[in-house]
Amino acid sequence: MMGKILPGMVFVAALAAGCAGAGRYGYARTYVALDDEAAWAARSEEPVYDDVRRAPEPYRGRVVSFFGIVRSVGQTGGPETRLALQVRTHQERHLCEEDSESTCRVTVGARDGGPFTAVVALRPEDLDGENRLQTNSLVRVFGTVTPGEYDPEGGPVVQVRYYRHWPRGQYVTTASAELMRR
C-alpha cells in the first residue's frame, strides 16, 4: 500500500487543502466548514424556518442550524448573550469579485426570512474590536429550539451550542450579484 495513491486519498487531500485555503471567513466558491463546525454540521438539520416557527415541539432535543443576520445584541443577565436575528437562506454558490477564491464571500439571501433569537455564550474574540459580533454581523448557529418560548416578534428561540460568525464586510447578500461574478 505504501507508495500507491488511491482515489479516496486524493479526495481527502484536496478537501484538506480546500479547508486550509478558505480561512476563518470561508473565502471559497462554496461553503467550507471550520474544523470545529464540521462535527456540528454533520449532526444538525436545516429545517424550514416556517415549520419550526409554527410547530417547534417536533424539534425538541434535535440540533438545528440557521443562518441569520444580527438585528440587535442584548444581555440575558448571565454569561450568555441574546441575539435578535433575521433568518437568511445560504446560497450554495458564493459570489466572487474575480476568478480567485480569495475574492469569494459567504453569500446569503438579501430577503429577511423571519425573526428568531439565539441565546449564546460569545467567544472572547467576538466581544470587542472592529470584528466583534454586532448588528449586521452574519451568524450560523447550531442549537436546540426551546418549545413554547418565542421572541418578542414571534420567532423561535434557539439555545446555541456552537456558532460561526462573519463580521460586517466579510460576507455578502445576493443583492451584491450585480457587482460580483458568480
* Mean pLDDT taken over the chain: 88
pLDDT digits 0-9 by tens, 14-45: 333 344 458 889 999 999 999 999 999 999 99
**pTM, entire model:** 0.85
Q: Is residue 158 part of a domain?
A: yes
Q: Is residue 134 part of a domain?
A: yes
Total tally of structural domains belonging to the chain: 1
**1 has pLDDT over 80:** no
Question: Which residue segment(s) compose the domain that 102 sits in?
Answer: 25-178
Give the span between the Cα atoms of 73 and 85, in whole angstroms. 9
pLDDT digits 0-9 by tens, 119-143: 999 999 999 999 999 999 999 999 9
Q: Is residue 7 part of a domain?
A: no
**CA 53 → CA 2, 154, 162, distances in Å?**
54, 8, 21
